[in-house]
Amino acid sequence: MKRGWIGLAAVILAVGCSNKDTIDPGTWNSYRNPVEQSDVQDPAVYEDNGTFYLFASGSGDSIIPMMVSSNLTGWELAISVFNDETKPTFVSGVAADKPAVAKVGDQYLLYYSMYKSAENSGIGVAVADLVTGPYVDQGKLLLGSEQGITGAVSPSFFSDGEANYLVFGNFGGIYIVQLSEDGKSIASGAAPVKVASELFDAPCITVKDGKYYMFASIGSSAGGADCTCQQVVGRADSVYGPYFDKNSKAMTDDGYEVLIKGSTKFAGPGHGSVFDVHNGTTWIIYNAYDLSDVSKGRTLMLDRVNWVDGWPSVRGSIGSFSADAPALN
């Protein structure tokens, strides 16, 4: 996906979703998508003690910008994680992007991508004592060429309570690898395991009621109305899969269930970050083109994820135009 960042973003989480145009966001506690009108790409959200942090790909002097919100309805640009002096360099000539953040022990870990080509790509990690930084780069976590993997980018961290893992991939296969206890390196003796085909990009995994759910993007990331990205999902009984659709077709064989597809209002929903908030609800924040003005780039979208018969769903399987605002207190 194209990387970019313009200005401040506003991200709004909702408790219920609606695709009706008739809701007036000014009449009651509601919002409209896109929640940010500018080009905010590859978003990842992290909640820490009731405060929400959004990390994204940057452009120009902003290398992984971070935004902060106390209520998920108003955001302020806080920092750029890296600058020219502190930026990662283990893949030369490119900027770090496509981030993910997790807390392991007493430290915050920021995983980032370095992509020069499918064959020259990798993932690094930076550490901080506070989620707001400063982040100190620890360098390379893995390099795709050393693992025989193309497109080794788009990391996402998750833990099942027994071990830490990183899931990653960008149309070169989706892989999971176990991390060390401190999350700063690959676990001793571990190697990436392929869990989905080359059809998929930008994975993340959540665990619910003993099942593992892998969310990912498919489709072309061509610009504007030509973007065919969709958000999809598969389910497994164990961390390494196999991940299946509802008809038992494995994601290694291109199986998936559609979570969010394009609509007459929004094209190319992709690179979603799925997360739970402290009130127990699940949300996805992602990119899409607003067809009313595609020149804005990939605008920022947010929808509630509901759980129905053991599967995640978004109402209507399309990005909501209007939705109920959050009740986070």
pLDDT higher than threshold 70 for residue 146: yes
Average pLDDT of span 199-204:
98
pLDDT at 179: 98
- Residue showing tokens 């489709």: 219
Longest distance between any two alpha carbons in the chain, whole Å: 57
Q: How far apart are CA 103 and CA 117, in angstroms?
A: 30
Residue among 227, 275, 232 nearest 255 (CA): 232
Share of the chain above pLDDT 90, in %: 74
Give 44-80 pLDDT, tens digit per residue.
999 999 898 999 998 767 899 998 887 777 777 888 9
Give 274-293 pLDDT, tens digit per residue.
999 888 889 999 999 999 99
Most confident of 8-12, 20-24, 94-98: 94-98
Residue among 160, 199, 198 nearest 179 (CA): 160
CA torsion angle 280 66 118 187 (round to 10)? -60
Which DSSP state fits 325? P
Strands 282-290 and 266-276 come out as antiparallel
Name the CATH code of domain 17-79+151-324 (choices 3.40.1350.10, 2.115.10.20, 3.30.1520.10, 3.40.50.12780). 2.115.10.20
SS3 171: coil
The full length of the chain comes to 329
pLDDT at 325: 74
Average pLDDT of span 255-268:
97
Q: How far apart are CA 34 and CA 235, in angstroms?
A: 28
Which DSSP state fits 19? -
pLDDT higher than threshold 50 for residue 3: no
14 — pLDDT class (breaks 50, 70, 90): very low
pLDDT at 329: 67
| Contacting residues for 187 by C-beta, under 8 A, at least 6 apart | 163, 177, 178, 179, 180, 181
